[in-house]
Amino acid sequence: MRPTLGPTPITRLRRTRQSPAIRALVAENTLSAADMIWPVFVREGENVEEPVPSMPGVVRRSVDRVVEAAREAADLGIPAICLFPYTDAANRTEDCAEAWNPENLSNRATRAIKKAVPDIAIMTDVALDPYSDTGHDGFVRDGEIVNDETIEALVKQALSQAEAGVDIIGPSDMMDGRIGAIRQALEAAGHQNVMLLSYAAKYASAFYGPFRDAVGASGALKGDKKTYQMNPANSDEALRCVERDLSEGADMVMVKPGMPYLDICRRVKDTFGAPTFAYQVSGEYAMIKAAALNGWIDGDRAMVESLMAFKRAGCDGVLSYFAPDLARALA
């Protein structure tokens, strides 16, 4: 070691924390509305907003109200909205045919938003759970969630979404090989510019509970999703999922849930450098909301802190039910 000349320099890390101006100057990460993808629930009807009890502040909207919400989101600087349909019981069937019906709720909402708010990007979910009578993301045959037969249906679903005008397709089903199959089908159908945001590292999580209430799938679900969603004990496997999905044609990848999996976000970003997103899922939203509504935490501060954590962990953006609240809090 080189001997120091003169007095030892005194490192005082508090110097760069002394005022808002200096703290802003040395901030390593930023958070803005532009980092957000806003998941919204769509239902039938007109002029309806129906609260989701386990997600205070979140509603299911009829298509006309979804269009209004999309306009509001665009005005707030939110770049993308993600549609989740609440399908009527009559359209939840063994063959899941409603999933690729050009007139299904998701496709009608897509066309209506595209027409009225062309600037906002539209993302949709590819998986059979909103349309199946079992609540599973794939077909169930003799108690098994069958992979390859499910993929044929997922491809039809993705094509019908692309046809309706979706910008970003998000396969959340966790079947093996679906990214490649969907990518090839999109190319063949002339949808070369439709993006795939793969739910690449999606864990079998307890934090999806309120979402399943929101889309009406919790009552139906028989068993669990552990044969296709990942084991929360695993981390190397997440990298293999991401590598596979990127090689099959995913443009962006997602880690889900978010807050309990920030280590995965960091590894994925460091390893692949691809556009990386996290989904702060329904249960994470519900926890923060519930504590805030009880006066146990400052809800706005917890929201901003939790979302900043994703940026710090390397994410390029976050899917969060807080998106409009965040945009308003930062405005």
Residues belonging to the active site = 202, 256
Q: How far is the CB of 173 from ligand PBG (least distance, A)?
A: 6
Applying CB under 6 A, does 127 fall inside the site for ligand PBG?
A: yes
Q: Closer to ligand PBG by CB, 137 or 167: give it.
A: 137
Tell me the window of 58-66, 67-75, 121-129, 177-185 that interacts with ligand PBG (CB under 6 A).
Answer: 121-129
Applying CB under 6 A, does 132 fall inside the site for ligand PBG?
A: no
Q: Note the maximum CA span of the chain.
A: 82
Nearest to 232 by CA among 274, 201, 203, 200: 203
Applying CB under 6 A, does 151 fall inside the site for ligand PBG?
A: no
Tokens encoding 122? 């539209």
Tell me which residue has its CB nearest to ligand PBG. 211
Applying CB under 6 A, does 125 fall inside the site for ligand PBG?
A: yes
Count CB-CB contacts under 10 A for residue 292.
18
Q: Closer to ligand PBG by CB, 130 or 299: give it.
A: 130
> Is 257:230 a contact under the CB 8 Å cutoff?
no
Applying CB under 6 A, does 35 fall inside the site for ligand PBG?
A: no
Applying CB under 6 A, does 287 fall inside the site for ligand PBG?
A: no
Q: How far is the CB of 187 from ligand PBG (least distance, A)?
A: 24
Q: How far is the CB of 280 from ligand PBG (least distance, A)?
A: 8
Applying CB under 6 A, does 211 fall inside the site for ligand PBG?
A: yes
What are the Cα distances from residue 301, in Å, to 141, 314, 325?
Answer: 47, 20, 11
18 Cβ neighbours under 8 A, 6+ residues apart: none
280 Cβ neighbours under 8 A, 6+ residues apart: 257, 258, 259, 306, 307, 310, 318, 319, 320, 321, 322
- Helix 105-116 with 147-164: angle, nearest 10 deg: 30
Binding residue count for ligand PBG, defined by CB under 6 A? 12
Q: How far is the CB of 151 from ligand PBG (least distance, A)?
A: 14
Tell me the window of 85-93, 105-113, 208-216, 270-278 that interacts with ligand PBG (CB under 6 A).
Answer: 208-216
Give CA–CA dist 128/139, Å, rounded: 8
Tokens encoding 238? 């997440």
Applying CB under 6 A, does 38 fall inside the site for ligand PBG?
A: no
- Considering only 153, 259, 274, 281, the residue that binds ligand PBG (CB under 6 A) is 281
C-alpha 12: how far from chain center: 41
Count CB-CB contacts under 10 A for residue 4.
8
Q: Closer to ligand PBG by CB, 98 or 129: give it.
A: 129
Pairing relation of β-strands 36-43 and 59-62?
parallel
Applying CB under 6 A, does 208 fall inside the site for ligand PBG?
A: yes
Applying CB under 6 A, does 244 fall inside the site for ligand PBG?
A: no
Map the footprint of ligand PBG across residues 169-188, applying CB under 6 A.
172-173
Applying CB under 6 A, does 320 fall inside the site for ligand PBG?
A: no
Q: How far is the CB of 20 from ligand PBG (least distance, A)?
A: 34
Give CA–CA dist 58/286, Å, rounded: 10
Interface with ligand PBG by CB under 6 A: which residues? 125, 127, 129, 137, 172-173, 208, 211-212, 225, 281-282
